[in-house]
A and B are shown apart, each in its own frame.
Chain A
C-alpha cells in the first residue's frame, strides 16, 4: 500500500481538473481573440494575441479606478478587522465566566444565522441618510459584519493560549493594553493569517453590499463594475472577457503565490 502511486486516481483527478481549468482557458483565449476569430472556433488558441481588448476594457470600465477602490476597501477592512476583532475577542475570551461577556459572545455569534436580506432594506436607508453610502461606509460595514464569525474563531483560539505568559507580563507591570498588543496579538499570528485571508476573499469578491450601498459610480468595486458594464455592453464578448480576466487576475496571482497559506487558512477558519 504505502508509497505506491495510485495511477487510476491520479488520472481521474487530472481529467477532472480539466473541468476546473476549461472555463479559465476560455476566459484567457477569448480575451485575446478578435470577434471574427471567436466566431470561427471557440476552443482554438488565438492566432495573434490582441491586447487591444484589454486597453479598450480598461478605458470603458475605468478599470484602474475600480482596482484602486477594491484595493483600498480590502486593505482597510483587513487591517482594521485584525486590529479590532481580535481585541474584542480577547476581552470576551478572558472574561467568559462573567455574564456580560458570555452574553456578548452569544450575541455576536448568533448573528451568523441572520440572513442579510432581513437588514438589507433598512441598512440602505440608514447609510444613505447618514452620508455613508460610500467607500468609507462600506469599509465600516465589512469590519462590523465580520465580527460574528471572527469573534467565534478568535475566541476559540485565544482560550487555547495559556495564561501564564500574560501573568508574567502583568507581574512585570504591563497594563492590559500592553499585554494584548505585546503578548497576545503576536501569538495570534496564525489566526490573524486565517482571518486576514478570509476577510480579503470576502471584501474583494463581495458584490451585494457594494451594489446596495454605493451610490456614486466612481466608487464602484471590481465586481460591481462588471455588473454595470454587463448591462451596457453585453454583446462584445472579447471585450467583456478581457474585463473579467483583469478583474479575476489579482486574486489568481495572489493565489498562485500564497496558495499554501490560503488553503490552510481557509481550513483553520472553517473548522472552529
Chain B
C-alpha cells in the first residue's frame, strides 16, 4: 500500500473483498437452486418390450416425462445407419419431441408430422421438411434380449450414436 492510502480506503477495499466473495458464493447457490432435484435425476429408467410391436405402426412410451417413439420398420422402409437391429427386425428409437421447438409430432401414414411448425420426419426419424434442424434425438438405451432399457448407455446405443455423429 502506498503512503496515500488511508484507513477509510483500507476499510473500503476490505469490504469490497468480503462482498465479492459473498456475492460469488450466493450466485453459486442461486444457480444450484434452479438445478433439477436429485429425485428428478434419479427417476430415469424405463424398460420397453419390443417383441409385441407391429411393423409400420409406431408406439409411444414415456421416459423422464418425454415421449419415446419406437417404430418397427416394414420391409419396404429404407435402411438407415441409426436402425437398431434385434434379430431380423429393424427399429427406429427416438425421443418424440420435434427438434425445432419440442412439440410431439404425430404419425401420419408414413411419417411423423409436427402440427406446431410443420416439421416432418421420415421413418428413420430424419427431418425431411420444415424448420427442424436435425433428426429426432436418440435416447440412451441398452438392449436386454427383446427389450430395451431407456436411460442406460449400452454398446448398441454407442454404435448408433457414433453413426449419427458421422
Q: Are A and B co-members of a single complex?
A: no
